Each structure stands twice: as structure tokens, then as C-alpha cells.
């Protein structure tokens, strides 16, 4: 069955429709060679149609233990080829059984180049009899999707507090402000802490401090940080009161709370092969990344020092302030998928900041 990817900017890509239901979302690409399950279950991909640049997907099946949340968050999965033998259709079935549209046999190289050169537009994956019908369906889906509440962080965040015991009984207690957290961020904290308590993104300062945490983690999450409600003001009040560690969206919210500005990257950083210069751990390593926004360096306060730089484009990848007890990292030190060299930043937070 033929299927179509229709971009809001007018381009149409035709491929093989493998199942799922028609959906719209922001079209982005990821350069990871593995980790399709972790990508699809990462809440940061909420409302996004993901194009995988590695040609073969689904070739090592599925394993629920590597899921980064309890559900699939993507609104579409595009690849050149999907494992579709009679013996192993596990990933294909997992996507289509959950209604995620799956499109294959399109020129993903050309599509990735279009996204790099022209930015990441809205688009829709649809089944249709012809291109005219596909355009009409896509336009309606995109228009409907744009009515969604822009605070995607709140949509992805837990609505009720959750307490988890840690592995280190003499370790600190950490309050986690959930912006759409990956499970591995929580696992890394649990390995080092006596207890963590996970709060909704709109939790008040009073409720967080009532837990009496030793430090605060701001997690990853989807969308534009400038559209996040409540959390920026909450973090601003907590600065200097408790040590704060922000990852990805948490890094951006921390930047806004410090008075800095954020801006949208042309096509974002998504993949597990992004090089970083880290002056905190004094290393250069490759990282896993997934974000579409960055903090503008010139707007950071003078006491906040840029400590991490993306060596692909020179964007701010991390900052630290000893005075305000805060560390922000614009990538995934918890990896999954990706390399693990940056995981030492969790120990830095626990051992030195708390």
C-alpha cells in the first residue's frame, strides 16, 4: 500500500505504508545507528515524526527493559527498510499495534538533506489514493495538531508524585521535576541516591521544599522551553537554595530561570554521535542528543560559565555556576541509546554539588 509524507512546506515523499493510523507532527531526523526503541519511547519525541538515517531498522527485535517510558511518544516512524521477515516482525508490529504510522522505501538521504537545509517543518503521514488526496488529508491533520496546548512538557509530565528508593542508603534525597523524563535519568539517580521523589512540572516551590531534598534534578522533555508554564518561575526561586542539575529541557528551563534566552536550532541535534568538549570532567567525548532548542550564550549572567561546547557547531552544551549551585547539560549523560562517557556528570552532581 502506498503512503505519503506531506510536509507543510509543500514537498511530498511517497513510500510503502506498513501500518498505523494517519498522524501529523514535527518532522525530525536522528542519526543513531541503533536504539529505535529508546528513541520511540523517549517523551522528548512527543508530537514528532522521526526519520532514521540508518537504513535498516527493527533488525534486533524488541526488548521492553530498554524502554525509556511506559509508552510510545512518537507520531510517526520513517526509515528506508524495516525488518519484515516472517520470523521477525517484532518492531514493525510494536509500532503498528500502537497506531504509529510506519513508512518505508523512501529516500531518507534526500529527506534528511531537506530537513538540514530547510529546517524541521510540520508534516503528516497519510494513506491516500493519490497525491491530491494526501495533501488534503495532511493539511487537515496539521491544522488540528497546531491547536494542541503548547506546553508539551506538562502533557508528558507525571501528574502525581512518585517516590522511588535508591541503591545508596547513605546517599542524598533528590527531588525530580519531571518535564517528560527518560527512565535512565531516574535509574542513574537511584544508583547514587537514597531516595528520589518525582514531581509534576507545575509543582510549587513550597511542595518541593516540603520534601526537604538535598538537590533538584530538572529532566528532559518535549517542545519549546519558552512555552513551559510555571516551571521557569519555580526554578528561579530555587536557585541558590538547593543544588540544581538540568538535562536537555531541564538545561533550557534552568537557562531561562537564570535570565538567559533560548532559540530554535535550524534542524536540531538528534543522534548518538555528537562530540562535546567538557571542562567539568576535562574530557572530549561523543554524546547522545535529542533537542531542537539551545541557550544563547551571550545572554547568560556573568557568574554562569559555559563548561560544555558542541564541537559540531559551537553551541552551548552546558554551563555551571558555583555561586548559584547549578549545572545545566544540553545532551543526555544517561545515554540510552548512545555512549556512556558523560555518565560521570551524575556523580559530579551527587558528590560535589550536594
Residues labelled catalytic:
248, 332, 334
User: Number of C-alpha atoms within 13 angstroms, CB side, residue 152?
Assistant: 24
Q: H helices within the chain, ranges in order? A: 36-40, 90-97, 108-118, 131-145, 152-156, 183-192, 205-210, 231-238, 249-257, 344-348
Look at strands 23-30 and 122-127 and give their pairing: antiparallel
> Residue 219's closest CA among 260, 177, 183?
177
For residues 20-59, b (16+ Cβ closer than 10 Å) or e, as one string?
Answer: bebbbbbbbbbbbeebbbbbbbbbbbbbbbbbbbbeebbe
- Angle at which helix 249-257 crosses helix 231-238, to 10 degrees, equals 70
Distance of CA 269 to the CA centre of its chain: 10
- Phi then psi dihedrals of residue 254, to 5 deg: -60, -45
Element (H, E) at 292: strand 283-295
CA dihedral 281→285→291→294, nearest 10 degrees, is 60
Three-state SS at 347: helix
Classify residue 304 by its DSSP letter: P
CB atoms within 10 A of CB 323: 10
| Tally: H helices and E strands in the chain | 10, 19
Q: Maximum distance among all alpha carbons in the chain?
A: 64
206 Cβ contact list (under 8 Å, min separation 6): none
Amino acid at each position: 500500500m502506498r503512503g505519503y509524507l506531506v510536509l507543510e512546506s509543500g514537498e511530498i515523499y511517497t513510500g510503502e505504508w506498513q501500518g498505523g493510523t494517519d498522524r501529523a507532527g514535527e518532522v525530525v531526523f536522528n542519526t543513531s545507528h541503533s536504539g529505535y526503541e529508546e528513541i520511540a519511547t523517549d517523551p522528548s519525541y512527543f508530537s514528532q515524526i522521526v526519520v532514521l538515517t540508518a537504513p535498516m531498522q527493527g533488525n534486533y527485535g524488541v526488548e521492553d527493559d530498554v524502554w525509556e517510558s511506559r509508552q510510545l511518544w512518537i507520531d510517526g516512524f520513517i526509515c528506508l527498510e524495516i525488518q519484515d521477515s516472517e520470523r521477525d516482525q517484532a518492531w514493525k508490529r510494536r509500532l503498528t499495534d500502537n497506531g504509529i504510522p510506519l513508512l518505508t522505501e523512501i529516500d531518507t538521504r534526500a529527506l534528511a538533506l531537506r530537513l538540514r537545509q530547510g529546517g524541521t517543518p510540520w508534516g503528516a503521514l497519510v494513506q491516500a489514493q493519490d497525491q491530491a488526496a494526501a495533501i488534503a488529508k495532511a493539511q487537515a491533520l496539521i491544522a488540528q495538531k497546531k491547536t494542541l496546548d503548547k506546553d508539551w512538557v506538562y502533557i508528558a509530565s507525571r501528574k502525581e508524585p512518585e517516590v522511588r528508593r535508591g541503591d545508596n542508603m547513605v546517599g542524598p534525597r533528590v527531588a525530580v521535576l519531571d518535564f517528560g523524563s527518560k527512565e535512565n535519568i531516574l535509574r542513574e539517580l537511584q544508583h547514587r541516591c537514597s531516595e528520589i521523589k518525582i514531581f509534576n512540572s507545575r509543582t510549587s516551590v513550597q511542595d518541593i521544599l516540603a520534601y526537604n531534598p538535598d538537590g533538584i534534578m530538572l529532566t528532559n522533555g518535549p517542545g519549546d522551553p519558552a512555552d513551559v508554564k510555571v516551571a521557569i518561575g519555580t526554578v528561579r526561586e530555587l536557585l541558590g537554595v538547593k543544588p540544581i542539575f538540568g538535562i536537555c529541557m531541564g538545561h533550557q528551563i534552568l537557562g531561562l530561570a537564570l535570565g538567559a534566552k533560548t532559540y530554535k536550532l535550524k534542524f536540531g541535534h538528534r543522534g548518538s554521535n555528537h562530540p562535546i568538549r567538557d571542562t567539568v570532567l576535562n574530557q572530549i567525548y561523543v554524546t547522545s542528543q535529542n533537542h531542537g532548542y539551545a541557550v544563547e550564550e551571550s545572554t547568560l549572567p556573568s557568574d554562569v560559565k559555559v563548561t560544555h561546547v558542541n564541537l559540531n557547531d559551537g553551541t552551548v552544551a552546558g554551563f555551571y555556576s558555583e555561586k548559584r549551585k547549578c549545572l545545566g547539560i544540553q545532551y543526555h549523560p544517561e545515554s540510552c541509546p548512545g555512549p556512556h562517557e558523560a555518565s560521570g556528570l551524575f556523580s559530579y552532581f551527587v558528590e560535589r554539588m550536594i
